[in-house]
Structure 1
Amino acid sequence: MIADPDEHSDDRVAALEIQLGKLARINASLMGRVERSTDLRGNAFSVFETAISLEGKVRERTADLERALGELASTNAELAQAKEAADSARRRLGDAIETINEGFAIFDADDRLVLCNQTYLSLWPKVADQIVPGVRFDEILGKIGETRGMLGAMVAPDRWISERGAAHEIAEGGQVIALADGRWIQVNERRTTEGGVVGVYTDITDIKAEDARLRARELAERAVVLQATLDAMPQGVCVFDRERALLAWNDPLLAFLKLQPTRARLKIADHAALIQWCRTALPRANAADTLGWLGEGEPETVAIRALEDGRSVEVRRLPMPGGGMVMSFDDVTDRLRAAAALRETNETLERRVQERTAAVVAVNIELQQQVAERVAAEAAMREAKTAAEQANLSKTRFLAAASHDLLQPLNAARLFVSALATRRMAAANRTLVEQTGSALDSIEDLLEALLEISKLDAGAVKPEIVDVPLGELLHALQAEFALAAGTRGLTLTVEPSTAWVRSDARLLRRILQNFLSNALRYTRQGGVVMAARHEGANVRIAVTDTGPGIDPAHHVEIFEEFRRLNAGHERGMGLGLAIVQRAGRMLDHPIGVRSAIGTGSTFCVTVPLAVEGTRQIRAVSAVVRRGIAARTVLVIDNEETILEGMRAVLEGWGCDVLTAVGASEARAAIASSGAPVDVILADYHLGDGMTGEVVVAQLRTSLDRPTPAVIITADREPDLRDRLLGAGLHVLQKPVKPAQLRALLARLTG
């Protein structure tokens, strides 16, 4: 809004005119006094004196009047210039707002129109002649509402006027309105410093039209994709709307119903027409329970019908939300035949199994007990699996109970195989022994991986977050995998680190073990590098190999259970990375992979730094151990097979072996031997509620010297391990690895 320069000039002219009026009245008063003095006194001298006095005053008043007239003339000239400048400014403002393409309107603090352009008036052609300066905004809204100039005003005039008036009152943003002639206008209003409102009205009809075209194009593209998806399905599919009219179909449906593409819409235009057509195309499959209409909310139905030509068709019906139905037709003849053949094969196999079982029972009656135990264990496992789906605690209890029964026979088998391996035998027999040992290793790895995954899923593993010296962990892993790398002709490089991290040492070690194991397993030549790099408040531990690499499309898939890509003849179950992912999620340690075909692979885990960050790593000193030959070892187990296996292994190493199934037999064996016992090996579960921990404590009280003892258990609960270690006992997990057992015995008896 432009300020009026005439306002101050008018005030000044009015003041000057008042001053001139006062001077004129004074002059008239003086002249009257002169005339009255002459008439009353008639004194010539007095008249002369008075005239001279009046002449001086008149000159003064006349000079004042002339100065006032000069100032008035100057003021009138300035006023004329200011008025001309104001008129010029108004013309320029009017020209400026007329040149812009948008509608423009200014309302004063009383919400009266001050100024607008022709574009603004053209928006309301029916009331343009009534929109003049001074009219109120609500009056303009009323006129537009009466003429139905807005789309909203055509539907609900009062509501539209109320909403538009409220938006104008706020004047804090844009509003899109639709005109009755189909145009779309975007209104942007802002308050002026004097309390008025400035509005800009932009025609966005083209933008709206383009948006509509884009939406139509998107819908068309979606329709094309949907049709392509339907055509790619092997089943015949058709879709009906809520009025039961045909919406979509695919080419397999036309082939299935023997329809020509050009006549499909005509022959099956609605659901009733489809049923009528199927009476000829699919006889025996047009019953109401096969093709009938399903209302909204009804469940999906599947029906299989045998046709006259020997084929079998599967018809699926699925109601759609909001009405409508989807139907699919599939030829399941081959599938049913395969199922029938499979049932026949299963029946044959069952008969053969029964015959073989009877023969085995007749040959060796002792296997009945083992079969019964395994059946009981399988039943317990099935019950535990069902319970695990309802509660993780039940799953954890099952794992604790089943692990001992599963690993006990495996432990005995490993001991016997290890004992055989130490004996002289033919090359063919040694090959069989080695293959048996390799198979047992695979079973052991699989069981351990499955148990570990199950415990991670069940929440049975509770991480113990402490400060971990990363350098010592990396050094231990280097020693653990150096032999495997050398055997495969690979270089293993582990860069030292002085960092300390916050993590669970056991789970972090497990993650890195799986990284190294996979890298060495799938790398044919070159080497593997493990290094730790600082990244802000974290440490990124990466294992990089020169293997064949992994397609980025499979980077997510490889972390699933039993996923092995291009494994060739390498042994593995595809569970290592699944364990890594679960452990990383439990520890909140992000797991990453970077790999491509032909470029090798890098697997990494990001671990937070400990508070102190880095510390001095303790030096690792080498300890010289003596052999275990001629050492007396007492083995306690409640199963004879385990005792026989342990005896075979230990005697193969040159040890004197005493065996017992309980505390009383152990005392008798020690007494009859007469030799001091160097080490006690005791199973944790000895039956009848007795544990190896209790038996060892009883024996130690009767021995004349402190004797190291090792508890062998299938339980992997951290609490049990901590309790045994706290009691001064060593712990080995089942199945016992002979090399691990020998190393422990050498350390305890050295």
Structure 2
Amino acid sequence: MATRSIPRFDDDSVRIAALEAENTKLKRINAALIDRVERATDLQGNAFSLFETAISLEGKIRERTADLEQALGALAQSNAALAVAKEVADDAQRRLRDAIESINEGFAIFDADDRLVLCNQTYLGLWPKIADRIVPGIAFSEIADMIGKDGSMLGAMVARDRWVSERLAQRMVASGGHVHALADGRWIQINELRTSEGGIVGVYTDITEVKAEDARLRAREMAEKSAILQATLDTIAQGVCVYDAERRLVAWNGPLLTVIGLPRDGLSSIATHDGLVAACEHLNGPMQPDAPLAWLDDGVGDAVSRRQHRNGKIVEVHRARMPDGGMVMSFGDITESLRAADALRETNETLERRVEERTAAINAVNRQLSRENAERLAVEAALRDAKTAAEQANISKTRFLAAASHDLLQPLNAARLFVAALGDRRLALPTRALVRQAGSALDSVEDLLEALLEISRLDAGAIVVEPVDFAIDEMLRSMKAEFAPVARERGLTLRIEESGLWVRSDPRLLRRILQNLIGNALRYTQVGSVAVSTRTEGDVLHLEVIDTGPGIAPEHHLEIFEEFRRVGEHGRDRGMGLGLAIVQRAGRMLGHALTLQSALGEGSRFGVCVPLGTATIRTDYVAQPSRRGRLDDQIVLVIDNEASILEGMRALLEGWGCTVLCARDAAQGIIPCGEHAPDIIIADYHLDDGKTGVAAIGAVRAAAGIEIPAIVITADRTPELREGLVQAGFHILQKPVKPAQLRALISRLTK
């Protein structure tokens, strides 16, 4: 057992020891008295004296025997009380162990002497190398010393003695939380508080993800700042370079190498400040006495110097220290400016004209720069607007599909009900064939709407991934049961092997991936077989769907995962081109890699890589059998705001032998009930004027005075609505309603 404790002792053991000592003492006295009687003689030879002595000794023995019996009775009572107390203590200790083992964080309790009393498995898991030596009674100082020696803590690897002393100092305070880095890359937060008895309770929380997210945010901020700095530097005409406190080059702009005189590939030579000085001396001659490129020490203000190059070019150098100890330098070629100034001094008569020309040139440059800045800002604004428009368009598309799904599914639901009602009747063979074709067409429309809505929800992020550990064989068996009839109908062999393994994934999304892959394989395979194989590689299970179909050319491997993209004309019934798009989005959400091996004429092998999970105890539920046959004498109240739905429901249910009452809202649903309450209520969730079928069901139940079984039918597939209806005790069917599902549910609720 991971949780350990120190055995406890109480006053009962002391009391039992005292009673046993008293019992021993009484036995010794009794033996001495009997021995005395046997050896005693009357010195005068008086027989009556001997008789008196015997009588006296017999009374004393009787008293001592009574005392002994009382002591034995008290001992038995104490033993019984001790057994009860021990059982109570064991129960309390077991509950305490179970409680701390259920905590996700590491948990440890130390007594007033700072010795371990109790801990859970999570706590021991933090120190795997020394877990077997952490036992109840061990002092915390010993644990800290062992942790420092085994290298579990990053700080201990750097300076073990210092880490141990600092950890013990934190332990003495025991009034808050502190964070430590483990050697394996994890981070834990330790919260320690003193108990009323002077002990310490410690909670050890894994905050690795929090630290990683914080690091990502800081890195993003630094990247944004670097991008802003680089953009700023690139707009400056002078050459600029920035060195950090270690005198390493961290930023520069394009004109820098040109001003210094280095070739385009000469950046490596100025990677450090010393390299910059050496390169400038090599290219442009020795430094001037004022050291125009020297490093600025602490406390030195900004400096402006001029440097004369060998070729006569004069460069003005600006140096300024940064708060972090680094230095920024700018190089401006002022040769022309100086020559212009000399010329101005020599020819005063042309001074005004030259100044005007220079001013005009500067103004033109400024205007050009302003125009360029305005154009850049306009382009950036246009890009932002385009991005916003694209995001809004995507959101609008998702909202439109979600909102339109109800209106699209209403007529489809009505059509399916009418077709199902026709299918239950005796029809001529040509007519029955037409009904089957109509049902098949409705199935295709339903599949298209389902795929569109699912892609919409995946794109909008409306589906939340909920990974759990589960046995993959259960899903594979359900896939086999679902697709075996399809394979038989198409003359194909379907093989699905089981692995006996557990995986960690979201069962809904993984099931959707397998359904689409197996469905595609059966759809495009003309002859041969479709197989689902499993193999492990490390801690990953590879699920592969292998077919003997026509295969896919390598140049089409990427485009087949796009929406509405279909390659070739193979297959009995070509899909809509959405199945693999859903597979790709679901795999991306789950973080499961997808694989594809295929070539023309060689079949295809689609795979998904799923991490292995941990096996747990599971409970098998046996489905309740549904009643078959006609539903005679069942009164069904149907509430829907669409007349076509009501008519379709009436035709379908009356064909099953039900008595059908139709209503468009709660008020109409109460009136036709009369003295005979319906056996079951079927209500559409969305009614007119913002009302819901849930409220209508409540009104009918209140009027009837009984809890009538109810089914809610909705086109809304959001998990929130489904969870709310399930928690409220309603049974749910999605539109378009499948008649077989409806009949099975009615049979189960009314039997």
Larger Rg: 1
TM-score, normalised to structure 2, is 0.46
TM-score, L = length of structure 1: 0.46
